[in-house]
Structure formats: C-alpha cells, structure tokens
Amino acid sequence: MGLLVDGQWHDKWYDTEKHGGRFVRSESQFRNDISPTGRFKPESGRYHLYVSYACPWAHRALIFRRLKGLEQHIDVSVVHPLMLENGWEFADTPLHDPLYNNDYLYQLYLKADPNYSGRVTVPVLWDKQEQTIVNNESADIIRIFNLAFNELTGNHDDYYPPSLREEIDEVNEWVYNDINNGVYKCGFATRQQAYEEAFTDLFAALDRVEAILAKQPYLAGAQLTEADWRLFTTLVRFDAVYFGHFKTNRQRIVDYPNMWRYVRGLYQHPGVAETVVMDHIKQHYYGSHKTINPTQIVPAGPDIDFNQPLE
Ligand SMILES: N[C@@H](CCC(=O)N[C@@H](CS)C(=O)NCC(=O)O)C(=O)O
C-alpha cells in the first residue's frame, strides 16, 4: 500500500491519526467524460479498463461494461489480488498488462502524468490513443458506460434515467457514505470510537435498506438503477470479508431476509455472476492489509450460495 508524491512511489499506509483514527478517502483526480464532441470520443477499441476483481469500486465498472454490451469495444486487464508494498501489481498472464507490460499500476499513472501525486487506485479507464487516463472514478465511469457508447452498441438500457435522477442521487449519497465507504471506515479505523461511530452508521443504513426493500424491489422504486449496482458490490463482499476482516459483525446479509433475496436477484442477473470472483476478493482483503491481519491467513469459509433460487 502506498502512493505517488511528485512522481515518486512511497510505501505508506493511510494516515488516520490526523483525523482522530478515522479513515478519510481521497478524491479521484482524473475526471474526464467521453462524448462525441469532446476530447475523448466514443470509439470502439480506443479505451481499456484496468480493474481488480477484489475491488468493489472497480466491480461497478465491470458490471456496467457487461450490462451495456461493451465487451467487444473495451478490453479489460485485471491486476493481481494482493496489494502490498508496491500497490497494485501485474503478474503472469492473465494478470498482466497487455498494453505496456508494466509491473505496477503506478507506472500507468506515471505514464499519464509523470509528476502525479496521489493514490494509485482501480478502476482506471485508459485511452490508448492519447495514452492517458480518461477517468479513475468509478461513479463517473459507470455513467460514461451507461450512455456514451449507446450509438455504437445499440444498447439503450438506462440505469440513470432522467425521471429518477434526483431519487438515485439522494440514495447514492447515504449508501456511499454509510455503506460503500462505511465498511472501509469500520475496517480502517485505528481508534475504538471511530470504529464504533462507523459501525453504528453502517447498520442504521443497512436497516434502512432492509425497510425500503420490504416495500419495493429496488432502491429507487420499481426500476433497477445504478443505485442498486453501487450497493450490490458492497453487499456481495459483506459476509465473506467485511463481516470478519472489517469487523462489521452485528449481522450478516444472509440474516436480512429482504436484502438477502435482493443480493441474490442481482447476482443472478444475466452476466453478473461472472464478474464476482470470490477468491480474488478474499485473497485481496485478508492478504493485503497486514496492519489488520498480520498472518495474511485467508479464512476458508463462509459458504454462500448466491444461486439459491429466489422462491
Ligand atoms: N473513488 C474511487 C475509489 C477507488 C479505490 O479506492 N480503489 C481501491 C481498491 S478497492 C484502491 O485502488 N486502493 C488503493 C489505494 O487506496 O492506495 C472510485 O470509486 O473509483
């Protein structure tokens, strides 16, 4: 784990002490759009997506690539599940970098900006033409995938429809703060109080989701939207890693009847199960955070059947 400072790699863990033991996530820095009139145009074969199967943020992008039929137009590279002293690394095929044969993901960031300062995160949407990063913020990448390539693919499915945008933005706000990022706030807290605050907020938000799903099938109502996919990537990791490794253990997702049905429904959506790679997920979390799990032992359980029929 580390970061780049003026183009130099430093092996450094998150500094929680300056925030009273709290984990504070930094903002992504490459935030360009893809549009017919802009610098980055929607073209087949021009862009490349770098992900980790372990990462819930990168997972959103992978799901949208599949939902929007972009596999033929945007290739993907997957990094090695362990993120240690050199950050995300490439390894032997198929976990290699087919474009530049880099050893480390930070080399890609340096190619985009030799003086880059900041964290080196996945996902990365890369432009092969300009050899730079278009965008490294998953919330943006899924919206780009949702719309920008529609003319190319003929797929007009809309996961951020204008009529529901206000509702979706409102849900995203608390789901992001208290659940998507909330599990990290629990797991990376270095003081008891910081952990307990995050834990309380997390389970209040999960209870809220459970109550919403008692009344309607999806977070924004009757229609499946990006708000659901953003929540899904956290829920699908919850019982296998966050519950144990991040100490989010008041209850599991399987213990919430509505959420357990909902997460299975999303998992069983065509093409989604193939984007869930549980051994990368478990290896990454239990193996990469030595401050939390010094032995790096990966638990053998639990056994979760996301394919269980939806009754
Ligand atoms: N806001 C970013 C967050 C991405 C992110 O933090 N990814 C994690 C992996 S789950 C990462 O690459 N972390 C490396 C680091 O923080 O140094 C997004 O949603 O795209």
What tens digit of pLDDT does each residue of 55-82 get? 999 999 999 999 999 999 999 999 999 9
Query: What is the model's pLDDT at position 158?
Result: 98
Contact 122, 79 (CB under 8 A): yes
Q: Look at ligand 1, atom 8, and give the residue with the nearest C-alpha.
A: 121
| Claim to verify: residue 31 and residue 131 sit in the same structural domain | yes
| Claim to verify: residue 198 and residue 82 sit in the same structural domain | no
What tens digit of pLDDT does each residue of 236-288 get? 999 999 999 999 999 999 999 999 999 999 999 999 999 999 999 999 999 99
Token look-up 């253990």 returns 249
| Claim to verify: residue 179 and residue 112 sit in the same structural domain | no
The closest of 129, 111, 143 to 31, measured between CA atoms, is 143
Cα separation, 42 vs 300, whole angstroms: 43
Is the ipTM of this structure higher than 0.90?
A: yes
| Claim to verify: residue 99 and residue 238 sit in the same structural domain | no
Per the prediction, the chain carries an average pLDDT of: 97
Pocket-testing residue among 14, 24, 49, 57, ligand 1, by greatest number of atoms within 8 A of Cβ: 57
Choice among 14, 47, 55, 195 that is catalytic: 55
Instruction: Indicate whether residue 143 lines ligand 1 (CB < 6 A).
Output: no
User: For the chain, what is the domain count?
Assistant: 2
Confidence at 18, pLDDT banded by 50, 70, 90: confident
Q: Flag whether 76 is marked binding.
A: no
Instruction: Indicate whether residue 206 lines ligand 1 (CB < 6 A).
Output: no
Q: Flag whether 138 is marked binding.
A: yes
Last residue of a domain, one of 131, 153, 175: 153
Structural domain contains residue 168: yes
Last residue of a domain, one of 104, 124, 153: 153
Determine what percent of the chain is predicted with pLDDT higher than 90.
94
Q: Is 55 a catalytic residue?
A: yes
CATH number, position 258 = 1.20.1050.10
Q: Look at ligand 1, atom 1, and give the residue with the nearest C-alpha.
A: 137
Query: What is the model's pLDDT at position 25?
Result: 83
CATH number, position 26 = 3.40.30.10
The closest of 236, 249, 311 to 275, measured between CA atoms, is 236
